[in-house]
Amino acid sequence: MTGLEQHRRHPRTYRDNRFVYPVLSRRSHGLSIGINLNPDKVCNFDCIYCQVDRTSQAETRFVELDTVLAELAGLVTQVSDESLWDDTSFADIPPGLRRLNDIAFSGDGEPTTFRNFDEIVEQVAALKARHGRDEVKLVLITNASMFHRPAVERGLELLDENNGEIWAKLEAGTDQYYQLIERTVVPFDRVLENIGRAARRRPLVIQSLFMRIDGQPPSEIEIDAYCSRLTEITGSGGRLKLVQVYTVARPPAEDRVTPLSEDELELIAGRVRTRCDLPTAVFGG
């Protein structure tokens, strides 16, 4: 399997593991170990582009912390002793990408809805330290809907203390487009407020997936509104270290969603750079 094919495959299962899985991440530029805190496939968003099939029932319903830590320790050891690269799924990865870039809280739903989010961040950070992996980032891939909860606020602080990075989803400029994409009861204003408040505490990465819906890309008006939301965040004192502009790379659950071209993504990124004066990275499908 080529490196490109690996980027397009993000299975959330690995061997007999139930919660922890390795992926070659195009946005991490290396190996990312994912921790699935939502094996029940329950999410407070129902994103139109999501590849998770929520019509089928999950086999695993509850997160077992001891099992998570054991699976994570096993994978970190496999990277350290290089035995992971003997696995046929990873044998073709180029030498330059054979490094553990991050441990990511992600999976089949919104990770911050996990009740003991702060506890699991603390335990994973401690495991990373025991393995002498201080350079490995802890990444939270999130829709920013739960940042106002005390356990999540504490979890974010623990990320700050342990080489953590927050990747917050922002994919719309208007409430109408937000509801079209995310299909959630969580108000758009809450997400914007949470991102702004978190960004005033530490620099955030913004992750923005753009796509065609029924053949139509986002309108120029929508992209202008999206840029306005970014400038509102920075104008209120929020710090954004990077904006990731990308598109679907794996088949979504709904076939009305298709990827944008690299040129279209570059145009959006150019608008962000010009209007918002923010560093921007493009990741094509």
pLDDT tens per residue across span 29-80: 789 999 999 998 889 999 999 988 756 555 556 789 999 999 999 999 999 9
Domain final position from 126, 141, 169 = 169
Q: How many CB atoms lie within 10 A of CB 66?
A: 8
Q: Work out the average pLDDT over 257-284.
A: 96
Are 206 and 216 in contact, with CB atoms under 8 Å apart?
A: no
For residues 23 and 156, membership in a common domain is answered with yes
Domain final position from 169, 199, 229 = 169
Pairing mode of beta strands 164-169, 240-246: unpaired
For residues 155 and 279, membership in a common domain is answered with no
Q: State if pTM tops 0.85.
A: yes
pLDDT tops 50 at residue 2: no
pLDDT tops 50 at residue 199: yes
Q: How confident is the model at residue 7 (pLDDT cuts 50, 70, 90)?
A: very low
The three-class DSSP label of residue 78 is: helix
Number of domains in the chain: 2
Average pLDDT over the chain reads 91
Candidates 145, 170, 279; CA nearest to 225 is 170
Domain carrying residue 58: 1-169
For residues 196 and 239, membership in a common domain is answered with yes
For residues 18 and 101, membership in a common domain is answered with yes
For residues 78 and 182, membership in a common domain is answered with no
Output the pLDDT for position 9: 46
- Return the percentage of the chain with pLDDT > 90, whole number: 75
For residues 129 and 199, membership in a common domain is answered with no
Q: Work out the average pLDDT over 241-258.
A: 91
For residues 54 and 105, membership in a common domain is answered with yes
Q: Work out the average pLDDT over 205-231.
A: 97
For residues 83 and 19, membership in a common domain is answered with yes
pLDDT tops 70 at residue 5: no
Name which of 55-59, 114-118, 132-136 the model is least confident about.
55-59
Output the pLDDT for position 6: 46
CA 67 vs CA 42, 72, 115, 171, 274: distances in Å: 20, 8, 17, 34, 47
For residues 17 and 56, membership in a common domain is answered with yes
Q: How confident is the model at residue 148 (pLDDT cuts 50, 70, 90)?
A: very high
More confident residue, 13 or 22: 22
pLDDT tops 50 at residue 233: yes
Output the pLDDT for position 60: 55
More confident residue, 15 or 195: 195
pLDDT tops 50 at residue 234: yes
- Return the percentage of the chain with pLDDT > 70, whole number: 91
Output the pLDDT for position 239: 98
For residues 113 and 79, membership in a common domain is answered with yes
pLDDT tops 80 at residue 10: no
- Domain of residue 185, CATH code: 3.20.20.70
Give the separation between CA 115 and CA 121, rounded to whole angstroms: 12
Give the separation between CA 99 and CA 161, rounded to whole angstroms: 22
Q: Work out the average pLDDT over 136-157.
A: 97
17: amino acid identity, one letter: N
Q: How confident is the model at residue 181 (pLDDT cuts 50, 70, 90)?
A: very high
Q: Work out the average pLDDT over 10-27.
A: 75
